[in-house]
Amino acid sequence: MNGYPFAIPVSVRWRDVDAFRHVNNAVVVSYLEIARAEMWRDRFGGESVMDIPFVIARLEIDYLRPIRLYDEVEVGLRAADIGKTSFAFEYRVEAGGTKAADARTVQVCIRHESGRPTRVPEAIREVLENLTAS
> Among residues 31, 30, 53, 51, which one has the least CA distance to residue 41?
51
* The model scores a pTM over 0.95: no
* Largest Cα span, the chain: 46
From the candidate CATH numbers 2.60.40.10, 3.40.50.720, 3.10.129.10, 3.40.120.10, the one assigned to the domain spanning 6-130: 3.10.129.10
Cross-strand pairs, 92: 76, 102
- Reported as a single tens digit per residue, the pLDDT across 26-63 is 999 999 999 999 998 888 886 655 567 889 999 999 99
pLDDT in tens, 80-124: 999 999 999 999 999 999 999 999 999 999 988 888 999 999 988
Three-class SS of residue 34? helix
Q: Could you tell me where the beta strands, DSSP code E, fall in the chain?
A: 6-10, 54-63, 73-80, 86-95, 98-109
